Amino acid sequence: MTKRIDFQIDPSRYRHWRLSVEGPVATLSMDVDPAGGLFDGYELKLNSYDLGVDIELHDAVQRLRFEHPEVRAVVLASAKPNVFCAGANIRMLGKASHGHKVNFCKFTNETRMAIEDATAHSGQFYLAAINGTCAGGGYEIAMTAGHIMLIDDRRSAVALPETPLLAVLPGTGGLTRLTDKRKVRRDRADQFCLLEEGIRGQRAVAWRLVDEVVPPSAWQDAVARRAQDFAARSDRPADARGIVLMPLAREVADDTIAYRNVHVALDRAAGRATITVRGPRDLPADLAGIHAAGAAFWPLETARELDDALLHLRLNEPALGLLVLRTEGDPSAVLAADGLLDTHAADWLVREIRLLLKRALKRLDLTSRSLVALIEPGSCFAGTLAELAFSADRAVMHEEAAAIALSPLNFGAYPMSNGLTRLAARFYGEPDSLERARALIGQRLDSATADDHGLITAAFDAIDWEDEIRVMLEERASFSPDALTAMEANLRFVGPETMETRIFGRLTAWQNWVFQRPNAVGANGALQRYGSGQRAAFDPERV
């Protein structure tokens, strides 16, 4: 699987989803083209999916937020008869490399959480209308919805058959949402997860697997009515006009990717990529200007570009284990942009921009590469862009002419997966330092002040800078990529846990482990033997 995977798409090119909007209700129907797999060698039968299907879903969820302010409820449905979704395609999983499987799951997880984020924070309530078989990853998609309806046709069921069928986990949040979101009793969850055929009808309601079952005769009306009910509770504006998420301006060369505000330089010999984010050159004066600028408004454009760059690096450049984070520009201009995002936080579009920045920064936290921020003269690690430094495993600062700055957005706008701001996580052991930092909002902080306040890892003078950086980057490149991944996944998320950290931490780590075990991926393992007519042969030892 070496072809370049592109995460940019638009509805005119969807092969797997249909989006229809009627007033406040959108319907997002899965209609996977069996011949439309991202790679050769498998057919996407029964609405099973691969990464390509999920790239479209991710795009649709994003566009609904920005392009359709009028949409207040989204029905997740299937356009195929008798099947909602059969889950991740098994032949694809069987052929994929370990790294692809892990990154496929990570991206689908992020997309599932974007759906929950829209329901929780954007006033776009998702409901799942399950009108057929709904298994594995299919039920994991349904569980992202705030309300699950199941047709009661004595045939349609929900199921998580991964463990009995494939010897892997329902690893796209399934186990965690079952216990923590749906709050299914643990012995019932155990039964459900080992029942290939799943559960249907009233028992599915009694076990909290779905919220209601509806007879076929009443199905259409019931779904429409529920969608209207949820739409009525939304706080989205009545008569706003959406903005269009124009295609990103992007030039991809062999060793660079150039966007308007983000530049990526690939150094394959050194095993690293340098991501440079440029600060705003011009900004609108007011809210009307923000809406007029639309997708060209610097914070929005930058968030989309950073997001795209990270996804590209994850899937297409796995051997670049280190991301160097840089910025260029005027710190005051970034603070001015933050001022707009702060002043107009109540506006629906500004809210969406802030939420997208939040998600893009979370994607950075969750990228299993070492992150090092270089705070150099001419940089603009201010406010929102200072989050890049706070997300890094280390942030080092040039002692001369470099400055960083904080804005109110560093203190709540961009929580990490664990619900803490990056500064609160940083100062988990010293809450006083958080308050000391708050007092610095708006100031240009030189390296001594930043160091004194614990905002950076270290400062180096001009004489030492190059050597220190070189040694640090070379040394890090010499360590085991796996050990670094696991270490960083632990150190980055201190303190409280949320459903998100449990999915990305505990569940994902277990799934990654299972994805290495011969009982799943060996020649006689369940993933390889699935569909061959041969049963998997298991080593019976527990570890």
Q: Which residue's CB is nearer to a second copy, number 289 or number 496?
A: 496
Burial class (CB in 10 A: 0-12, 13-18, 19+), 354: buried
CB of 447 to a second copy, least distance (A): 15
Task: Report helix angle 98-117 to 137-144, nearest 10.
Answer: 30
Angle at alpha carbon of residue 377, lines to 339 and 274, rounded to 5°: 85
Q: Distance between CA 30 and CA 53 in Å, rounded?
A: 9
Task: Identify which of residues 243 and 503 has a Cβ nearer to a second copy in the complex.
Answer: 503
Query: Would you say 35 or 543 has its CB closer to a second copy?
Result: 543
CB half-sphere exposure, 312, CA atoms < 13 A = 27
Task: Give min distance, CB of 337 to a second copy, in A.
Answer: 26
What number of other Cβ atoms are within 10 A of residue 472's Cβ?
18
Distance, in Å, from the CA atom of 136 to the CA atom of 153, rounded to the nearest integer, reads: 20
d(CA 354, CA 408): 13
Nearer Cβ to a second copy, position 120 or 194? Answer: 194
Q: Which is nearer to a second copy, 211 or 330 (CB)?
A: 211
Q: E strand or H helix at 267, and its extent? A: strand 262-267
| Helix extents (H) in 317-385 | 331-343, 348-365
CB of 35 to a second copy, least distance (A): 29
Q: Closer to a second copy at the Cβ: 20 or 202?
A: 202
Comparing CB distances to a second copy, the nearer of 390 and 465 is 390
Q: Which is nearer to a second copy, 170 or 242 (CB)?
A: 170
In the complex, the smallest distance separating the C-beta of residue 453 from a second copy, rounded to whole angstroms, is: 12
Which C-beta is closer to a second copy: that of 187 or that of 251?
187
Specify the residue, 153 or 497, whose C-beta has the smaller distance to a second copy.
497
How many CB atoms lie under 10 A from the CB of residue 279? 26
CB of 257 to a second copy, least distance (A): 18
Give the nearest distance from C-beta 304 to a second copy in angstroms. 23
Distance, in Å, from the CA atom of 329 to the CA atom of 185, rounded to the nearest integer, reads 54
Place of tokens 């155990």: 190
Q: Tell me the closest approach of the beta carbon of residue 437 to a second copy, in angstroms.
A: 13
Compute the CA torsion angle 124, 125, 128, 129 (nearest 10 deg): -90
- Least distance to a second copy, CB of residue 496, Å: 8
Taking the complex as a whole, the smallest distance from the CB of residue 92 to a second copy amounts, in Å, to: 17
Of residues 188 and 444, the one with the C-beta less far from a second copy: 188
380 token code pair: 């603009």
Q: Tokens for 382?
A: 């201010």
- Residue 373's DSSP bridge partners are 325, 395
Q: How far is the CB of 445 from a second copy (least distance, A)?
A: 17
| Minimal distance, residue 185 CB to a second copy, in Å | 6
Contacts of residue 270, defined as CB under 8 A and 6 or more positions apart, other chains included, come to 322, 473, 474, 477
**Rounded-to-integer distance, Cα 529 and Cα 532, Å:** 5
Give whichever of 439 and 483 is closer to a second copy, judged by the CB atom: 483
* Largest pairwise CA distance in the chain: 78
Three-class secondary structure assignment of 315-330:
HHCCCCCEEEEEEECC
State the CB neighbour count (10 A cutoff) for residue 41.
Answer: 10
Nearer to a second copy (CB atom), residue 175 or residue 402: 175
CA distance 290 to 298: 9
Q: Which residues of 433-462 are buried (b: 16+ CB within 10 A; e: fewer)?
A: bbeebeebbeeebbbeebbebebbbebbee
CA distance 172 to 133: 18
As measured in angstroms, the least distance from the Cβ of 493 to a second copy is 8
Least Å from the CB of residue 230 to a second copy: 21
